[in-house]
């Protein structure tokens, strides 16, 4: 290149530099240093902030997250909102829509006609046994038999003594007798035996003689006899 052309180039660069400096808003740095040929080494670039290098990654993460949420929501909407109804209801038989009901066992004592609340002595919950019937509802005209099964010298006149106690209590048909062979030494304590439907009368007899309610029992033998109640004395009366 000739010296004339080189000088022209330098003058053009100086002119461009003078014009550009009036519009150049950045302070001079190493890129503004002239090279051997008189032109700048490079173009000035403003330093990039940390945020400018991070935000593209954040944008990608937000977009991917939104896509994932939308996909989950779409798949969830495809599932049925309500579970299918159970084919077998609680307590019902399998394969049927109607539940079955379990019948409670009937109370045999309430279904049978009696003159008391129950046929057997009951426990009141405190360990004490209750009479099987209502003494206040006893039939005072019912025939009662008092057997003397007391051993030794204490046996004398005890059947008659029991007869008197029951008579004083209002019982009109009371008979005293020695214990028959079928009842001899069968019971260890004074026992009141009664026939069918005679629980109230037996309870009244037991209450008058002070017999333990646990020893008031229904007996088929009494049901088959003319008497309504049998009393087997094992202890002296009174």
Cα separations (Å) of 93 from 9, 87, 105, 137?
106, 10, 20, 48
Residue-level pLDDT at 166? 96
Per-domain boundaries in the chain = 1-45, 132-233
Q: What is the pTM of this model?
A: 0.49
Q: Pick the closest to residue 169 from 149, 132, 139 (CA basis).
A: 139
Cβ proximity of 95 and 176 under 8 Å: no
Let me know if domain 132-233 sits in CATH 3.30.70.2390.
yes
Residue-level pLDDT at 125? 55
Q: Counting every residue, how long is the chain?
A: 238
Cα separations (Å) of 29 from 12, 14, 34, 104, 232?
22, 18, 11, 103, 134
Cβ proximity of 210 and 180 under 8 Å: no
Residue range 14-24, pLDDT digits in tens: 555 554 555 55
**Rounded-to-integer distance, Cα 29 and Cα 214, Å:** 120
Beta strands, E only, 111-212:
122-123, 129-130, 144-148, 174-178, 191-194
Cβ proximity of 185 and 207 under 8 Å: no
* Cβ-based neighbours of 184, under 8 Å, separated by 6 or more: 149
Cβ burial, residue 183 (10 Å; 0-12/13-18/19+): middle
Residue-level pLDDT at 118? 43
Spans in the chain with pLDDT lower than 50: 19, 87-95, 104-118
Residue-level pLDDT at 73? 79
Residue-level pLDDT at 144? 97
**Rounded-to-integer distance, Cα 227 and Cα 209, Å:** 18
């Amino acid at each position: 290149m000739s010296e004339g052309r080189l000088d022209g180039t330098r003058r053009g660069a100086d002119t461009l530099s003078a014009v550009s400096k009036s519009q150049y808003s950045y302070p001079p740095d190493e890129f503004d240093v002239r090279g051997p040929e008189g032109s700048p080494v490079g173009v000035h670039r403003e330093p990039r902030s940390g945020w400018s290098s991070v935000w593209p990654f954040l944008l990608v993460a937000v977009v991917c997250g939104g896509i994932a949420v939308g996909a989950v929501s779409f798949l969830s909407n495809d599932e049925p909102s309500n579970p299918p109804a159970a084919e077998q209801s609680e307590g019902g038989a399998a394969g049927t829509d109607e539940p079955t009901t379990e019948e409670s066992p009937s109370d045999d004592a309430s279904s049978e006609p009696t003159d008391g609340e129950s046929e057997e002595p009951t426990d009141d919950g405190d360990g004490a046994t209750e009479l099987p019937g209502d003494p206040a509802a006893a039939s005072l005209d019912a025939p009662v038999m008092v057997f003397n099964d007391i051993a030794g010298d204490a046996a004398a006149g005890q059947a008659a003594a029991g007869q008197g106690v029951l008579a004083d209590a209002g019982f009109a048909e009371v008979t005293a007798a020695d214990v028959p062979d079928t009842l001899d030494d069968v019971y260890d304590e004074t026992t009141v035996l009664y026939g069918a439907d005679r629980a109230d009368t037996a309870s009244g007899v037991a209450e008058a003689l002070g017999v333990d309610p646990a020893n008031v029992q229904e007996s088929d033998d009494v049901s088959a006899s003319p008497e309504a109640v049998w009393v087997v004395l094992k202890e002296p009366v009174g």
